[in-house]
Amino acid sequence: MVWEEREAREHVARTEKLLSGLEGLADAGVREQAMDALHALAELYGECLARVMRYADTETAAAIAADELVSHLLLVHELHPDPVEQRVRRALDGLPGVTVVAVQEPEVRVSLSPQGCGAPSEEQLAQNVRDAVAWAAPEIDSVGTEKAAPEATTLISVDSLFRGPQPAGNR
């Protein structure tokens, strides 16, 4: 059975809930054994995934990494074929008003220029950036933001809009 994206997201949420529930187990021995078993299983699957990626050519590796669920698994096991800067820039590319200033692990610096009426506020834009970076590059610890320098604008006086055509010598 192949999951649709909705089903995959639901399963991820259920898995996270189950994993967080292990911390609440009263019996420390059982809790430790369950956690050890999970870590061993994750390491085993990580090794299997590493072997798959080792045999994949560049085009196949890119196709594998393009799948959201698989991409996150690759990130967990530090196997993602794309470097962090490329993933960050791709994730932020579609956000209007965001310019990447620098990507130097463990930090990303961006310049924010809210786009005006109806666009997200500077605070919401900054949150959108943090969310996109966390999704694409979980190894990034912080996202620094700065206000973009105001763009130079050409002002046209209101009076000039109402004047009739002027002779060439009077302009």
pLDDT (mean) for 141-167: 68
Amino acid 92: pLDDT:
94
C-alpha to C-alpha distance for 16 and 76, rounded to whole angstroms: 14
From the CB of residue 117, how many other CB atoms can be counted at a distance below 10 Å? Answer: 5
Q: List, for residues 123-150, the tens digit of each pLDDT value.
A: 888 999 999 999 899 899 999 988 876 6
Separation CA 29–CA 125 (nearest Å): 45
- Mean pLDDT for 49-59 is 95
Residue extents of the structural domains in the chain: 5-76, 84-147
Q: What is the pLDDT of residues 57-112, one digit of tens each?
A: 999 999 999 988 899 899 989 999 999 999 999 999 988 889 999 999 899 999 99
Tell me: cis bond preceding 167? Omega within 30 of 0 counts. Answer: no
The residues that bridge with 107 in the sheet, in sequence order, are 104, 142
As a dihedral over the C-alpha atoms of residue 4, residue 6, residue 10, residue 11, rounded to 10 degrees, the angle is: 20
170 confidence band (pLDDT: 50, 70, 90):
low
Q: What is Dmax (Cα atoms) for the chain?
A: 94
Which one-letter DSSP state was computed for residue 150? Answer: P
Which of 114, 113, 100 lies closest to 144 in space, CA to CA? Answer: 100
Query: How far, in Å, CA of 83 to CA of 98, rounded?
Result: 20
The answer, yes or no, to whether the previous bond of 106 is cis (omega within 30 of 0) is: yes
Instruction: Tell whether the model's pLDDT for residue 163 goes beyond 90.
Output: no
Q: How far apart are alpha carbons 56 and 81 in whole angstroms?
A: 10
pLDDT tens column, 16-29: 899 999 989 999 99
Q: Which CATH number fits domain 84-147: 3.40.50.720, 3.30.70.2210, 3.90.1150.10, 2.40.30.170?
A: 3.30.70.2210
Closest to 93 (Cα-Cα) out of 133, 60, 139? 133
Rounded Cα gap, residues 96 and 22, in angstroms? 41
